[in-house]
Amino acid sequence: MAFTGTAHLAAPMPPSLRRLSPKLRRLPTTHTLKLRPVSASVDVRFPNWSPGSWKTKKAQQLPEYPDPVELESVLTTLESFPPLVFAGEARNLEERLADAAVGKAFLLQGGDCAESFKEFNGTNIRDTFRVLLQMGVVLTFGGQMPVVMVGRMAGQFAKPRSDPFEVKDGVKLPSYRGDNINSDAFDEKSRIPDPQRLIRAYLQSVGTLNLLRAFATGGYAAMQRVSQWNLDFVQHREQGDRYMELAQRVDDALGFMAAAGLTTDHPVMNTIEFWTSHECLHLPYEQALTRQDSTTGLFYDCSAHMLWVGERTRQLDGAHVEFLRGISNPLGIKVSDKMDPKELVKLCDILNPHNKPGRLAIITRMGADNMRVKLPLLIRAVRQAGLIVTWVSDPMHGNTIKAPCGLKTRSFDSIRSELRAFFDVHDQEGSHPGGVHLEMTGQNVTECIGGSKTVTFDDLNSRYHTHCDPRLNASQSLELAFAIAERLRRKRMRSASGFHKGQKDVSTIKEF
């Protein structure tokens, strides 16, 4: 996790170079600058933008609070609180994502569908962090490239809803929108939006970030501990055994380094960079945590290092896009098969007018069949416009189904098929698969069916704990990481061996 205090400001892209080839557009990304602070109401890059200018636009998915005065009081309190993250950390993440955009790194983004107040404890945070560490080792070993680790943690509370109301047994109540807004208990009082929940969400995010920072920099993430990260319930199962075999190879490599006189006490071997992210949904909360960086004069939403705009809130003239265009955090755009290629280019132009590498990640969520048809059109449109983006696969949201028992679930095979399609399309188009975005947990849940330790429809009720959408458990997450790593390894071997487009790869590496 980054704690750098120096301002690394990515060089703005001159408009005259925006449409040139990637080699010319790939400008040096770090210049140590100190800019004069500007007025808190205006950003020098966006003279018509302010942290509150989104209020002039139509906003989707915002709760209606019965007491606006109490809401304003809570927001005023949040504005006085310290930032959760720092601008320098967000800039460092942007640099890493710029590498992922050109195939020099790979983004691993994962965590809960929706964080909850009830399940907030150190064990759950540690176990999800630990699975992400394991997945990171697997991907680094297979891809032989840096893995950029970003958690859906410390702020992923609010959830968009397709219907503002929910009906059970003939009773109609407002939908559950996440623990920072209302409760999932199905009664009238619990479903009333409560501003005080925003304070609790902030405080829980503080606690989560504090623990994540301790894990990332306090020795827990040291490579020498790689064999100790295995979760108890994964041991002696196929994925646990595969991981321990890989961990032994890492230990052997560390032993070789030590024998050769290369110390393992270097910070790079004992700490990791870990960032946080969530969907930018509750705009009043996001505005309250927006700060102007004293080093650069730029605005950052200090609720997370990275934010994304969802499928339901990405309208070109909408409030969420208006807010996001003026903050300097790295941004994601969730994209389904409904996205028109021309609209995507317009959206990228709004959110990244200077075509800054690492600023935008396009997170596709389509289902395998749609991916093979729609993704090539999006890639070609973005390339033709000369835009620099990081392509990321979210294989979860396009594969949600209803089980016979009525619970929502996802098939592991469908998730894996969408990832296979994502990599196949990028191979076909000559573009870079830059990362994966997963809803997963370190808990031993039974929410997604399938995997090598098969979870069946009948198993769903045994440990179905999610407050919203089904998540991969630790074993399924590791299995997916091994499949992705083998695909990254195959890509690396093909490049090193001089394989050309259309040439058949006859290696025996197992993939997906």
pLDDT tens track for 4-16: 333 333 333 333 3
Give the pLDDT score at 30.
Answer: 33
* Distance, CA of 178 to CA of 38 (rounded, Å): 36
Give the pLDDT score at 3.
Answer: 32
Question: Are 234 and 473 a contacting pair, CB within 8 Å?
Answer: no
Question: Are 412 and 473 a contacting pair, CB within 8 Å?
Answer: no
Give the pLDDT score at 447.
Answer: 92
Virtual CA dihedral for 155, 156, 157, 162, nearest 10 degrees?
Answer: 150
DSSP letter for 464, please.
Answer: -
pTM of the predicted structure, to 2 decimals: 0.86
Residue type, 2: A
* Distance, CA of 449 to CA of 464 (rounded, Å): 11
Give the pLDDT score at 227.
Answer: 66
For residue 48, how many other CB atoms are within 10 A of its CB?
A: 11
Residues of the chain with pLDDT under 70: 1-45, 227-228, 230-237, 239, 262-268, 498-512
For residue 213, how many other CB atoms are within 10 A of its CB?
A: 14
Block residue for tokens 């609070």: 65
DSSP letter for 58, please.
Answer: B
How, if at all, do strands 360-364 and 331-335 pair? Answer: parallel
CA angle 293, 297, 300 (to 5 degrees): 45
Question: Are 139 and 482 a contacting pair, CB within 8 Å?
Answer: no
Virtual CA dihedral for 512, 149, 376, 356, nearest 10 degrees?
Answer: -160
Give the pLDDT score at 20.
Answer: 34
Whole-Å CA distances, 431 to 94, 102, 346, 388, 445 = 19, 8, 20, 11, 35
Give the pLDDT score at 117.
Answer: 97
* Distance, CA of 455 to CA of 415 (rounded, Å): 14
Q: What are phi and psi of 462, to 5 degrees?
A: -70, -45
* Distance, CA of 6 to CA of 89 (rounded, Å): 10
CB-count burial class (<10 Å; 0-12, 13-18, 19+) for 118: exposed
